[in-house]
Structure 1
Amino acid sequence: MEYDAFYKNKYGRTEELYECESCEGCQLKNDCCPKASKNRTIQMNRSIQAEGAFGILKWDKSYKRLFRRGEKNVILELTLISCGFNLYKYHNKKQRNKSPA
């Protein structure tokens, strides 16, 4: 595969396009791209789904760095942060569902 293009779409996500140099003589062309008359092109989007939670932790909760060293301690710290974040979300959901007094 050859690196073809690298750009941002209108939503700000990074997209990468890869295109094969030549599909002529390829044994798998019929299985790979049976309807296409051009070379095989693959589009890859950088996912932004996980960034929402990290953005909230970094910006809203002012959590900037890990304070523990070592693999087990880092896993412990991230687990505690995740539990706290989930409790925060659960609490907010319960508060929204309460009827006004």
Structure 2
Amino acid sequence: KYRENMAYDKSTDTYTCANNQQLYVTRNYTRTSQTGYQSQVTVYECEDCTGCPLKEKCTKAKGNRQLHVAKEFLAYRETAQENILTEAGTLYRMNRSIQVEGTFGVLKEDYQLKKFRTRGTGNVRNELLILAFGYNLNKIHTKIQADRLDHYYHPLKTA
């Protein structure tokens, strides 16, 4: 049903569905997200899904199966996947999972944040931003007092 379950042939720029039907490029268009980010999307379509025994499992469309693919996004996703699977990426993920849990624990327990005191998306965002500033100021103050400003969990990257 999903793109990941279809074989992709880079040389012909086609996908192959579970019924061995080819999905060819039919058009390209620009999609704009709610945040204003624009991405190029390639639409692949099967030539004929009439009588396909797998159509109900493959698509809900009345016509042929279509696949909308943002190739640039997939390239970024692949790069990110490669980065997080490296040894350094694994260390960063382990460290981040510990840090984030601790942050929420401090906000909930030490700052007594049980619920937001404001209503509305903008107000809640601003309240959380102020809490984050306070948390970070408290964290850097503690590091200054303990003379630990030059200590890092992992070595810094050099450019």
TM-score, normalization: structure 2? 0.31
Give the number of the structure with larger relative contact order, counting CA–CA contacts within 8 Å between residues 6 or more apart.
1
Larger Rg computed on CA atoms: 2
| TM value normalised by structure 1 | 0.47
